[in-house]
Amino acid sequence: MIVKSHDILHFDFCILTFAMNIDFKLYLITDRKVTKMPLPEAVRLALKGGVRAVQLREKDLPVRELLALAQELRTITRGFGAKLFINDRVDVAVAVDADGVHLGGQSMPPPAVRTIVGRKMLIGASTHNIEEAREAERGGADFITFGPIFSTPSKEKFGAPVGVEAVRTIKDHVRIPVFGLGGIKSENIFQVMQAGADGVAMISAILSADDIQKAAEDIMIQVERMRS
């Protein structure tokens, strides 16, 4: 069989588009301190409720504990065909064969991370303004979280809310998918999606709910509303 160069190009293109596929609209971020049960159990319930992308974000955990938790979440997310992202720790992401890594302002920048993970992993980046969003895109991030959109329980940590209109502005400046984050709950999701967000990210609306599975189900319905 003769393999032509355009076949190889097409093959590369397929790998590229496959690797860059953001096939979720709801991005669950963990905070084990807000759950009423062990984090793996809480995540399992969220997955049962329809969540298909989870970011492990437990910044204060020593690396061995983080690794053990990441391994556990890897097994659970795989069971549901869901994606797992690791916040900041590229080494842990590689070690557990995560689907991606999520980078903050203090993390290694996206271009450096790309040299480690290649096209095999997705790169998400946290952004809070236009400049950060554009820089993340230029650096090769596959998607960004943007916010806080609304007031969050720990406002001091995440800064003042930027408001829903800011989502529209960001969407005018970047082409990669934008996930609204910060104070997102069932009642305001439609507003955020209408402003152009490609998806929403959240912690407490799911993880601090009394019935995590039900909360995730309700939120999935709101996220999917834009499709109809």
Query: Which residues of the shown chain bind ligand TZP in the complex (CB under 6 A)?
Result: 29, 147-148, 152-153, 158, 181-184, 202-205
Token pair, residue 228, equals: 């109809």
Q: Which is nearer to ligand TZP, 10 or 155 (CB)?
A: 155
Q: Which is nearer to ligand TZP, 16 or 221 (CB)?
A: 221
Q: Which is nearer to ligand TZP, 103 or 118 (CB)?
A: 103
Q: Which is nearer to ligand TZP, 100 or 183 (CB)?
A: 183
CA distance 119 to 177: 17
Give the CA diameter of the chain: 63
Whole-number minimum distance, CB 152 to ligand TZP, in Å? 4
ω before 148 within 30° of 0 (cis)? Answer: yes
Whole-number minimum distance, CB 9 to ligand TZP, in Å? 39
C-alpha atoms less than 13 angstroms from C-alpha of 92 in its C-beta half-sphere: 28
The gap from C-alpha 214 to its chain's centroid, in whole angstroms, comes to 21
Q: Which is nearer to ligand TZP, 50 or 147 (CB)?
A: 147
Strand extents, DSSP E, the chain: 26-29, 53-56, 83-87, 100-103, 122-127, 143-146, 178-181, 199-202
Tell me the residue nearest to ligand TZP as measured from the CB: 204
Whole-number minimum distance, CB 147 to ligand TZP, in Å? 5
Quote the DSSP letter at residue 31: -
